[in-house]
Amino acid sequence: MPHLPFIIAAFSVTGVGMLWLTVSSYLAMRRSEALADDLRQQP
Amino acid sequence: MHRFANPARFLRLARPLTPALFWLGLLLALGACLWGLFAVPTERLMGDTVKIIFVHVPSAWLGMGGWMGIAIASLVQLVWRHPLAGIAARAIAVPGATFAAICLMTGSIWGRPTWGTWWVWDGRLTSMLVLFFLYLGYIALANASSEKGDTSRVAAVFGIIGAVNIPIINRSVIWWESQHQKASITLGGSSIDGAYLAPLFVAVAGFSLLFGALVLMRMRAALAEMRIDARMRRMADD
Amino acid sequence: MAHRKGVSTTLDTNGRWWFGMKPKHQRLVLALVAFVALIGAGFIAAAALKEEASYFYTPATMAKAKIEPGKAVRLGGMVQKGSIVRGADGVSITFIVQDRDATQKVAYRGITPDLFVEGSGVVADGRLRPDGVFVADSLLAKHDENYVPKELADIDMNTAEHTKDTLSK
């Protein structure tokens, strides 16, 4: 059985998972923190 | 520990720590993956598929370590009423579940060429799948908590009870005649050759730092949501 | 003003987001879902382990059990040294599975897993042919806990001597 497709698949799964986690966590953090700061500056 | 109970103090620490953990973690994880992909020798029986170990083992460790984190944070939440503990437990859940899923998938991909199957219902694989379902249950319970940033006690109790699965995963290859091999790295030493062990340690360290950065991001998001929530309530009262 | 609208949607996730269900009922439903998932996982595991036990034979138990030919069973043991014979067509293979007390001849057609070598642990799904040969539909090979680079392996490339002790127990 050829090995390369399995290696590529395993590393891709990990890469996609990490990318999704990072992007979603970062965006949630940035959006909420920006909003919280905005609201604080309002009278 | 109660020094960090104050969210403001926690944020002063978390703000610089988040990018530091993230970039260092990314550097180590990417470096270890490249090292593992292009600079390790072929394994005697498995050939090149041995390289999958560099993503499979870190994700297994973080999937299980994540639940230990949830259990400890839940305990702190219930016993000491530490205001950040519930937030921390909740922030761990999604990254932990994702790593458990990555572990299951990479293991399945690794199993096909080496064992000859994508899946078997042996003790190790089944208990790891149960861990993934426990994460889903915890996420459902935590999201149903009434207050933003406040994790319900039901979720916390679930987090603590679910921890019984961790030693089961760990011991499964000893208790049951299983398809999965026994532990390679124990307190007594390692049966993994140094050529694989060194990049594996770097990969575990790198992914762990990334995990830390992700949890901090999620905690910061939750704290900000709480501030928004409080502000909106005050504005509504006026 | 625009972002305040955004605020209310984020906050509403803890309000009534499920068919107008009250938060209390939501929690109840979610708790039930969580426990059903847990119990379901337990049942799956139990059923899987039970099935495993009732169809699993070693060469010794298979010799004693008088299994009728054609019945689907699972055979586990160790691949006997020097017993692997590959057919001229490249996909047929016969080998002998052994445990401490008995041996069983197995025939298989297909690509063998990478870890399938003489001396390694193997689990075969299949059925007995009337002539006593076990015809496998699928083969599972076991790995041990050792990871050794090819060039450092001082033992024969085609054997897995060290798996012997884990299986002969």
Do residues C106 and C75 make contact, with C-beta atoms less than 8 angstroms apart?
A: yes
Residue B236's identity, in one-letter code, is A
SS3 string of A1-43? CCCHHHHHHHHHHHHHHHHHHHHHHHHHHHHHHHHHHHHHHCC
Q: Do B126 and C150 touch (CB under 8 A)?
A: no
State the pLDDT at residue B211: 97
Nearest C-alpha of chain A: how many angstroms from B21?
Answer: 13
State the pLDDT at residue B220: 95
Q: Do A35 and C111 touch (CB under 8 A)?
A: no
| Backbone dihedral angles phi then psi of residue C30, each to the nearest 5 degrees | -65, -40
- State the Cα–Cα distance between residues B167 and B64, nearest whole angstrom: 10
Q: Do B221 and A32 touch (CB under 8 A)?
A: yes
Q: Which residues of C8-46 are buried (b: 16+ CB within 10 A; e: fewer)?
A: eebeeebeeeeeeeebeebbeebbeebeebbeebeeebe
Put simply, whether A3 touches B (Cβ < 8 Å) is yes
Q: Do C7 and A1 touch (CB under 8 A)?
A: no
Element (H, E) at B199: helix B194-237
Put simply, whether B48 touches C (Cβ < 8 Å) is no
Do residues B207 and B59 make contact, with C-beta atoms less than 8 angstroms apart?
A: yes
Q: Do B179 and C44 touch (CB under 8 A)?
A: no
- DSSP code of C16? S
Put simply, whether B141 touches C (Cβ < 8 Å) is yes
Q: Residue B183 — left, alpha, or beta (φ > 0 → left; ψ -120 to 50 → alpha)?
A: beta
C touches which chains (3+ CB pairs under 8 A)? Answer: A, B
Task: Determine what percent of chain B is predicted with pLDDT higher than 70.
Answer: 95
Q: Do A22 and B98 touch (CB under 8 A)?
A: no
Q: Do B143 and C113 touch (CB under 8 A)?
A: no
Does ipTM surpass 0.90 in this model? yes
State the pLDDT at residue B43: 86
- State the Cα–Cα distance between residues B192 and B190, nearest whole angstrom: 5
Q: Do A10 and B37 touch (CB under 8 A)?
A: no
Q: Do B98 and A9 touch (CB under 8 A)?
A: no
Do residues C52 and C123 make contact, with C-beta atoms less than 8 angstroms apart?
A: no
- State the Cα–Cα distance between residues C58 and C60, nearest whole angstrom: 5
Q: Could you list the residue range(s) of the whole structural domain that residue B138 is in?
A: 53-182+194-229
Do residues B51 and B98 make contact, with C-beta atoms less than 8 angstroms apart?
A: no
Q: Do A6 and B110 touch (CB under 8 A)?
A: yes
Does a structural domain hold residue B31?
no
Cβ contacts of B231 on chain A, cutoff 8 Å: 36, 39-40
- Count of other CB atoms within 10 angstroms of residue B23: 13
Give the nearest partner residue to A35 out of C7, C111, C114, using CB atoms.
C7
Angle at A30 between CA A26 and CA A23, to 5 degrees: 20
Do residues B126 and B87 make contact, with C-beta atoms less than 8 angstroms apart?
A: no
SS3 string of B132-198? HHHHHHHHHHHHCCCCCCCCCHHHHHHHHHHHHHHHHHHHHHHHCCCCCCCCCEECCEECECHHHHH
State the pLDDT at residue C44: 73
Q: Would you state the structure tokens that stand for residue B51, as one six-digit string?
A: 């390289």
Q: Which residue has the tokens 């605020």?
A: C7
pLDDT in tens, chain B (238 residues): 455 567 888 899 999 999 999 999 999 999 999 999 998 888 888 888 999 999 999 999 999 999 999 999 999 988 888 889 999 999 999 999 999 999 999 999 999 999 888 998 888 898 899 999 999 989 988 887 666 556 788 889 889 989 988 988 888 887 776 778 888 888 777 888 888 899 999 999 999 999 999 999 999 999 999 888 888 888 887 7
- Count of other CB atoms within 10 angstroms of residue B3: 8
Does a structural domain hold residue B156?
yes
State the pLDDT at residue C5: 39
> Domain count of chain B?
1
- State the Cα–Cα distance between residues B221 and B214, nearest whole angstrom: 11
Nearest CA in chain B to C113: B116
Does a structural domain hold residue B214?
yes
State the pLDDT at residue B173: 80
Nearest C-alpha of chain C: how many angstroms from A3?
Answer: 10
Within 21-40 of A, beta carbons closer than 8 Å to C belong to: 32, 35, 38-39
pLDDT in tens, chain A (43 residues): 788 999 999 999 999 999 999 999 999 999 999 999 888 887 6
State the pLDDT at residue C152: 64
Q: Give the best residue of C52, C79, C143, C157 to mutate against chain B (max B CB count within 10 A).
A: C143
Nearest CA in chain C to A2: C114
Q: Would you state the structure tokens that stand for residue B235, as one six-digit string?
A: 């504005």
A touches which chains (3+ CB pairs under 8 A)? Answer: B, C
Does a structural domain hold residue B8?
no
- State the Cα–Cα distance between residues B196 and B225, nearest whole angstrom: 43
Q: Do C38 and B121 touch (CB under 8 A)?
A: no
Q: Do B95 and A20 touch (CB under 8 A)?
A: no
Cβ contacts of B94 on chain A, cutoff 8 Å: 21
Element (H, E) at B234: helix B194-237
Do residues C141 and C114 make contact, with C-beta atoms less than 8 angstroms apart?
A: yes
Which CATH number fits the domain C58-167, given the four candidates 3.40.50.450, 2.60.320.10, 2.40.50.140, 1.10.10.10? 2.40.50.140
Q: Give the best residue of A20, A25, A35, A39 to mutate against chain B (max B CB count within 10 A).
A: A25
Put simply, whether A12 touches B (Cβ < 8 Å) is no
- State the Cα–Cα distance between residues A35 and B8, nearest whole angstrom: 17
Give B81: exposed, middle or buried? Use CB within 10 Å, 0-12, 13-18, 19+: exposed
Cβ contacts of C166 on chain B, cutoff 8 Å: 182
- Helices B194-237 and B7-38 cross at an angle (nearest 10°) of 150
Does a structural domain hold residue B149?
yes
Nearest CA in chain C to B236: C8
pLDDT in tens, chain C (169 residues): 334 433 433 334 444 455 566 666 776 777 777 777 777 777 777 776 666 666 778 888 888 888 888 888 888 888 988 888 988 887 899 999 988 888 999 999 988 888 888 888 888 989 999 998 999 998 888 887 788 877 666 544 444 444 433 333 3
Give the nearest partner residue to A38 out of C3, C10, C111, using CB atoms.
C3
State the pLDDT at residue B142: 87
Q: Do A1 and C114 touch (CB under 8 A)?
A: yes
Do residues B63 and B99 make contact, with C-beta atoms less than 8 angstroms apart?
A: yes
